[in-house]
Amino acid sequence: MTKKLWQKDTELNKLVEQFTIGSDKEYDLLLAPYDVRASKAHAVMLEKCGLLNKADMKKLMPAFNAIARQIEQGKFKIDAGVEDVHSQIEIQLTAAAGEAGKKIHLGRSRNDQVLTALKLYLKAELKDISSRVQVLFDIFLDLSEKHKSIMLPGYTHFQIAMPSSFGLWLGAYAESLCDDMELVAAAYHICNKNPLGSAAGYGSSFPIDRELTTRLLGFESLNVNSVYAQMTRGKTEKAVAVALSAIAQTLGKFSYDVCLYMSQNFGFISFPDELTTGSSIMPHKKNPDIFELVRGKCNLIQAVPNQLTLLTSNLPSGYHRDMQLTKETIFPAIAQLKECLEIVSYTLPQMRVNKDILKDKRYAYLYSVEAVNGLVKKGMPFREAYRIIGKDIANGKFAPQGKMRHTHTGSIHNPGTEQIRKNFSIVFGKLN
């Protein structure tokens, strides 16, 4: 078995080794390209500071590039007996560059090495997620505009409330994504601070240049204090998890609406048969399994911030091996949210809407508020108008007019689509 980079002369207990590594190697593969990128920047900095020479760099850079190509081609793997991706890269680097490969760890620790790769990974994933959100946002607003004149019953307490429209319903979820993106942007800026050079959390006696690696890696700024740099492990993941959970809440709520509106008791919307599933015994069933699974997955994603809180909130400053488990929590959540965004973006444009919903007599009471407002416009006090219409309803005398015109921003006939689009564009720009 390969000797660990940190191992001395003591033989490792195999059960302890297996337990401490766990499933970390599986998730570590996602960090491989970012570890190479960070290590290259670290090497450039070491040369500038006189800690590596040109001969070292002449050997190191081709070796780094070869590993990067291997990763890009999907041929990179962590060998049996190698602890993690960082060890694998250093082992390959040393095999290719000789003694120069053994110098690469000057001025850093495994702690800031992992944290730097993790932050670069999270930045990239947040960018990817934001692009996927943008696709879904555009779909919501396009459909909102397309169906803006088709009326839809509004509900409160699961009771018929007031008239709404498909345009207003779909536009609401577009605007919800605007607020979600505010949290994505905030998480991105938290990730966008360089921890490299904080070493094990107490800095280095080598004269390293942390500002240089910050520029080379495209970070916005430094995590200045070395102790705090290490304290961001877990905190950074939680910030990302909060952003993921906000998007998941929007998708989950929309999915619930879809499941409800597809049911025969509502019949507001439908999807092509190939996007639904059937029953093993009931031939008439067209189940909304896609949206039920999105709802379930998004409910689980919303639990991730709490999982990270429970994992990290009882730890003092400094690094602890508990932090390894943040990958098992945040990495699958990222993958699942991307899957949910993809499937909703694929199915939503195929939604069919019922154009004649409000012709059904069961929705007559939707217009009770309009009737009250009609009396108020004629000079009657609101409370008196409310009492009169309420009495007509109780006596079975209410006759809805079905005519109305809303003019204020964000209402049925003035949904503010362009303002919502502008707001999204502003917050989306915060990630650049």
Using one digit for the tens of pLDDT, what is the confidence trace for 120-138?
999 999 999 999 999 999 9
Separation CA 417–CA 409 (nearest Å): 10
> Tokens representing 287?
């189940």
Mean predicted confidence (pLDDT) in 34-47: 97
In whole angstroms, give the CA distance from residue 344 to residue 328: 25
What does the block give as tokens for 226? 């070395």
Beta strands in 224-377 (DSSP E): 269-270, 352-353
Q: What CA–CA distance (Å, rounded) separates 168 from 141?
A: 10
Q: Which of 101-115, 314-328, 342-356 has the lowest mean pLDDT?
A: 314-328
- Numbered ranges of CATH 1.20.200.10 in the chain: 124-148+165-184+225-358+418-431
pLDDT of residue 2: 54
In terms of Cα–Cα distance, which of 323, 304, 324, 302 is closest to 312?
323
Q: What is the homologous superfamily of the domain 14-102 according to CATH?
A: Fumarase/aspartase (N-terminal domain) (1.10.275.10)
Residue 81 burial (C-beta neighbours within 10 Å; 0-12, 13-18, 19+): exposed
Q: Is the pLDDT of residue 359 over 70?
A: yes
H or E segment to which residue 96 belongs: helix 85-97
Task: Quote the CA–CA distance of 226 and 314 in Å, as a whole number.
Answer: 20
Q: Does position 206 have pLDDT exceeding 60, yes or no? A: yes
Structure tokens at 348: 């939503």
Q: Which two tokens stand for residue 239?
A: 């910030």
Average pLDDT over residues 222-227: 97
Q: What residue ranges of the chain are covered by domains with CATH 1.10.275.10? A: 14-102
- Which one-letter amino acid corresponds to residue 252? G
Give the whole-angstrom CA distance, residue 386 versus residue 56: 85
Residue 230 amino acid letter? Q
3-state secondary structure 109-161: CHHHHHHHHHHHHHHHHHHHHHHHHHHHHHHHHHHHHHCCCCEEEEEECCEEE
Task: List active site positions.
Answer: 157, 279
> Domain 124-148+165-184+225-358+418-431, what fold?
Fumarase C; Chain A, domain 2 (1.20.200)
Residue 340 near residue 294, CB atoms below 8 Å: yes
